[in-house]
Structures are given as C-alpha cells and as structure tokens.
C-alpha cells in the first residue's frame, strides 16, 4: 500500500486550450456538493433529470416534490422550485400542485420505501386518476436513510438490518413489482424500469426520464420510471461491487423493460 502524503498538492487540471466542451454539469443542477454516499446512484439520477430539464428547456416551469428518504435533500440539488412531501405522500402533494398549476411540469422523486411501502396507496390513486405528473422511482432494495432496513423491493434472501437472516418470503413476502402493477392502469401513459449499473444503462435511463417528462408535456397521464440504483453503504459492498449486485442479483428479479408506452408518446425533436 503506497503511503499517502498529505502535503502533495492535488493535480489541478486547468481547462485545456482550444478544446470544445462536450459535457458540462447541467444548468438545472445546483452547483453544490451532494450528501450521498460514495457510489450511490442518487447523485447521477439527479444529474440525468437536470440534463433532461435543460434539454426540454422547462427549467422555469418545473417543480420537484422531494421525498423522505436518502433523497430528502433533493430539493437542494435542483435549480428549480421544489417542495418536500411527507414520507410516501409525494404523489398526493404533486396532485395538489398540478391541479392548481396545470401548465407546470411536476415530478416526484421517490425511493422504494417511500413509494412502494408507506406511499403505495398514493401512487396507486395518482395512477388511477391518470394524474399528469412524472414519477422518478429509485429502487435500491433497502431503506437507505435509516440505515438499510428491508423494503418492499428487498430481494428474497437478502440480508438487511430488519431482515438479518435474509428476507423470508413466508413471513416477509416477496419483492413488489409496483411498476408492472401500475402499467395495467389506463391512467398510466408510461411505465418502465431502467438501471444505473453501467454507462450504457445510464444512457437508457436518461432517455426514459426524458420520455416520462415528454408524456407529461403531452398530457398523456402519469409517467413513472423505476431506476435500479446502487446503495453501497447499506449493501456493505464497494461501489463497483454494488453495480455487479444490480446486474447479477437485482436484474433477475427486476428485469429492465417497458411495461407501458402510450402509442401517442413521441420523442420531441
């Protein structure tokens, strides 16, 4: 192990001369450090949303409803208006916002405990109403903020602080497939699952987030993108191992796919 010297200055790379910027942090993302753990996917998902908001040029009329969970500080990380819902209630709060601000773009950002456990009734009825809001549903199989408890999306046999012997389907049920469930509801225009476990998958996730916002812009009904995300800290894995965990353990239970795509949904030019 090389000994790390604390004195050596960090190699600052100044902007290379006469080169074109091909990628820079999106304007809709606040220029502040984020509190997420190293390797957590939340930060990257926030960035994708901000990129989509920039590309659709809707920053000035987009509102985020932040959840209770690891993303409880999401409202600090976006350069647009936001508010914070009680745990699980974001779809209801978003409904209230959308009903009085019908021409604004409202999206909720929710974790799996928030959306599929305490908030299952809210997301169900927002979908039944076809509420024209977008839902970014981050599935990392545990309750992150509170230290890694079992969530409705915890895999069978998966150890968490509240399923220490591994989730037992006989007493703790099986992982919920809420996005597939919601896809059966007429009011839902777009319901897909994506993942963050590789650059290629992240690109697809961004495209799905863009289509979700597009569905809202076209007023087609509720759009939801479930995003499989890494939680290195609570999975007790390194960030790299966490991506493997998604690929090897989560994908078999939670296959990536499109469960509902309204045929009227078109990719804006």
Partner 1 sequence: MTQGAVLIRSDRCKGCGLCIQACPQQVLAFAETFNARGYRPVQLDERERFCTGCGVCAIVCPDVVFTVYRQPLRRAERR
Partner 2 sequence: MARALWKGNEALAEAAIRAGVDAFFGYPITPQTELLEYMARRMPELGRVFLQAESEIAAINMVYGAACAGARAMTSSSSPGISLMQEGLSYIACSEAPCVVVDIMRGGPGLGNIQPSQADYFQLTRSAGHGDFHPLVLAPATLQEAVDLMYASFDLAFKYRTIVIIAGDGALGQMMEPVEMPPMRPPAPDRPDWAVFGAKGRPPRAITSLYLDAEELEQVNQRLQAKLKVIAANEQRWECHLTEDAEYLVVAFGTVARIAKSAVRAARAAGVRAGLFRPISLWPYPSEALSKLIGQMRGVLVVEMNAGQMLEDVRMAVCGRTPLRFLGRMGGVIPMPDEIAAEIVHMARTHQRGNGHGAQRLLQFKE
Interacting residues toward partner 2 by CB under 8 A: 59-63, 65-66, 72-73, 75-76, 78-86, 89, 92-101, 104, 121-122, 124-125
Minimum CB distance to partner 2 smaller for 59 or for 159: 59
Distance, in Å, from the CA atom of 67 to the CA atom of 85, rounded to the nearest integer, reads: 5
- Give me the residues paired with residue 88 across strands: none
Residue 38: name its binding partner from partner 1, partner 2, none (Cβ under 5 to 8 Å by kind): partner 1
Site string for partner 1, 29-58 (x = CB under 8 A): x---xx-xxxxxxxxx--x-----------
197: helix, coil or strand? coil
15: helix, coil or strand? coil
Residue 202: name its binding partner from partner 2, partner 1, none (Cβ under 5 to 8 Å by kind): partner 1
Minimum CB distance to partner 1 smaller for 44 or for 133: 44
Q: Is 202 in the site for partner 1 (CB under 8 A)?
A: yes
Is 149 within 8 Å of 160 (Cβ atoms)?
Answer: yes
Is 134 within 8 Å of 221 (Cβ atoms)?
Answer: no
Q: Is 1 in the site for partner 1 (CB under 8 A)?
A: no
149-150 and 142-143 as β-strands: parallel, antiparallel, unpaired? Answer: antiparallel
Minimum CB distance to partner 1 smaller for 25 or for 186: 25
Residue 127 C-beta: closest distance to partner 1, Å: 29
DSSP H or E segment with residue 258: strand 257-261
- Give me the residues paired with residue 66 across strands: 84
Minimum CB distance to partner 2 smaller for 27 or for 240: 27
Is 42 within 8 Å of 138 (Cβ atoms)?
Answer: yes
Minimum CB distance to partner 1 smaller for 15 or for 57: 15
Near partner 1 by CB under 8 A: residue from 1, 22, 57, 165: 22
> CB under 8 A: which stretch of 12-20, 155-163, 167-175, 209-217 binds partner 1?
12-20
Near partner 1 by CB under 8 A: residue from 125, 146, 239, 253: 239
Give residue 157's region: left, alpha or beta (phi > 0; psi -120 to 50).
left
78-115 burial string, b = 16+ CB within 10 Å, else e? bbbbbeebebbbbbbbbbebbeeeeebbbbbbbbbbbb
Q: Is 203 in the site for partner 1 (CB under 8 A)?
A: yes
Residue 138 C-beta: closest distance to partner 1, Å: 12
Both tokens of 243, joined, read 């991506």
Residue 36: name its binding partner from partner 1, partner 2, none (Cβ under 5 to 8 Å by kind): partner 1
Q: How many CB atoms lie within 10 A of CB 173?
A: 13
Residue 77 C-beta: closest distance to partner 1, Å: 9
């Amino acid at each position: 192990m090389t000994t790390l010297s604390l004195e050596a200055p960090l190699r600052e790379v100044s902007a290379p001369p006469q080169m074109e910027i091909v990628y820079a942090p999106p304007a809709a993302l606040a220029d502040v450090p984020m509190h997420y753990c190293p390797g957590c996917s939340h930060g990257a998902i926030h960035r994708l949303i901000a990129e989509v908001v920039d590309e659709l040029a809707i920053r000035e009329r987009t509102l985020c409803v932040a959840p209770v969970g690891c993303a409880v500080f999401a409202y600090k990380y976006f350069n647009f208006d936001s508010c914070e819902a009680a745990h699980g209630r974001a779809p209801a709060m978003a409904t209230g916002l959308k009903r009085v601000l019908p021409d604004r773009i409202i999206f909720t950002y929710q974790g799996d405990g928030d959306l599929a456990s305490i908030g299952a009734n809210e997301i169900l009825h927002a979908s039944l109403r076809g509420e024209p809001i977008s839902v970014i549903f981050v599935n990392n199989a545990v309750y992150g903020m509170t230290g890694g408890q079992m969530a409705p999306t915890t895999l069978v046999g998966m150890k968490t602080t509240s399923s220490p012997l591994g989730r037992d389907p006989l007493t703790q049920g099986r992982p919920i497939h809420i996005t597939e469930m919601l896809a059966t509801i007429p009011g839902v225009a777009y319901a897909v699952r994506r993942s963050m476990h590789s650059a290629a998958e992240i690109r697809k996730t961004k495209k799905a987030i863009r289509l979700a916002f597009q569905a809202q812009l076209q007023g087609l009904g509720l759009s939801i993108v479930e995003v499989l995300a890494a939680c290195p800290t609570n999975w007790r894995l390194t960030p790299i191992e966490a991506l493997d965990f998604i690929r090897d353990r989560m994908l078999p239970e939670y296959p990536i796919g499109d469960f509902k795509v309204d045929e009227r949904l078109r990719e804006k030019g």
